[in-house]
Amino acid sequence: MHKDYGKFCWYELITPDVPAAARFYGSVVGWSTRDSGMPGMNYTLAYAGERQVAGLMETPAEAKGMPPLWMGYIFTDKIEETLKDITANGGKIHRQPQDIPGVGRFAIAADPHGAVFSLFTTEDESPGQPGMMTPGHIGWHELMAGKLDEAWTFYEKTFGWTKGMAVDMSENDMGVYQTFGVRGGDMIGGMMTNPPASPAPPFWGYYFVVEGLDAAAKRVTDGGGQVVMGPMEVPGGAWIVNCTDPQGAFFSLVAMSR
C-alpha cells in the first residue's frame, strides 16, 4: 500500500465568484493566487508562500444552483479499487474517474450518509503536506457524520484510518468527538455525529491555520464573511472559529493563540 494512501492531499473551493473568493481568502488566510495555466480550464491556484495549498474553480454549468463548498481530496494510488471499496462499504460514486491532463486522475464520492469527498491519484509522488499547524495550510479535517459509528466503520475499512483520542461532549448533547490518523500516524482530524439541530446535511469541513485567531476572525467579517461559531478553545490549546465566506461556503480557522 502506498505510504500516502488515505491521506488528504488537496483542497478545492467550488464557488460562483472566483475573483471575489481569491480576494477574501487572500486577506483572511494570507494566500496569493494565480491562474493554473491549464489549457481550456479556468482554474486558480492558491499559494502559501511558494507552496500550492488549494484550487479555486467556478461552479460548473451542470452544477448551477449548487451551494458553494470546500472539497477535500483523499490520495489513492489505485483509484478503481478504492471506488469498489467505497461502494462495497456503503458509499456512493458521484463522478467516475476522469483525467486531469499532466496532473493525475480524480473521482468524486460520498460516504454512506452523503458527506462528499474526492479521490486523487497521480503517477508522481503524492503532493506532500507540511506539518499540521503550518500557517496558511490546512490544520484539521472534520466530519459532521450522519452517524459516528457507521461513518467510522466506512472510513476505517476504506482508507485504513485509525482512532486517536475520543472526547466525550455529551454534557453539551454533542456525543463523542473521535479523532483519527492514517494507519497509526499523527492525528489529522476528527468526526462526530452531526447534531440534530444542524441545518446542514453530513459534510466535511476544513480548518485553515492562521497566526492569531481574533485578528483573522475580524478579517472574515470585514471581508463580508460571517463567523457562525466561536471563538472556542479546543483540547491541545488551539482556538477555532467556524465561518462562511461571502458566497456562503463553510470553512473554519484554527490558531495556537487568540
pLDDT of residue 102: 77
Single out the residue of 206, 208, 240 nearest to residue 137, CA to CA. Answer: 208
Count other C-beta atoms under 10 Å from residue 100's C-beta. 13
* Angle, helices 213-222/18-29, rounded to nearest 10 degrees: 150
pLDDT digits (tens, 9 = 90+) for 80-116: 999 999 999 999 999 999 988 778 899 999 999 999 9
**201 against 64, higher pLDDT:** 201
Which three cell numbers mark 207? 480548518
CA distances from 245 to 10, 18, 27, 251, 252 (A): 19, 12, 12, 7, 10
The answer to whether residue 127 scores a pLDDT higher than 60 is: no
Q: Give dist(CA 16, CA 32) in Å, integer.
A: 19
Strand 8-15 relative to strand 51-58, pairing:
parallel
Q: What mean pLDDT, rounded, does the chain reach?
A: 92
pLDDT of residue 57: 95
User: 29 falls in which pLDDT band (50, 70, 90)?
Assistant: very high
Q: Mean pLDDT check: name the lowest of 15-19, 119-123, 178-182, 217-221.
A: 119-123
pLDDT of residue 175: 87
pLDDT of residue 129: 62
User: 130 falls in which pLDDT band (50, 70, 90)?
Assistant: low
Q: Give dist(CA 28, CA 123) in Å, integer.
A: 34
Domain 137-255 maps to which CATH number in 3.10.180.10, 3.30.420.40, 3.90.550.10, 3.40.50.720?
3.10.180.10
Task: Please state the CATH superfamily assignment of the domain spanning residues 7-121 in this structure.
Answer: 2,3-Dihydroxybiphenyl 1,2-Dioxygenase, domain 1 (3.10.180.10)
pLDDT digits (tens, 9 = 90+) for 174-204: 789 999 999 988 999 999 999 888 878 999 9
Percent of the chain with pLDDT over 70: 96
Question: Which residues, in sequence order, are CB contacts of 248 under 8 Å at separation 6+?
Answer: 67, 68
In the chain, ranges of CATH 3.10.180.10 domains:
7-121, 137-255
The answer to whether residue 149 scores a pLDDT higher than 90 is: yes
Is the entire prediction scored with pTM above 0.85? yes
Q: Give dist(CA 191, CA 211) in Å, integer.
A: 24
- The predicted model gives 39-65 an average pLDDT of 89
One-letter amino acid at 195 equals P
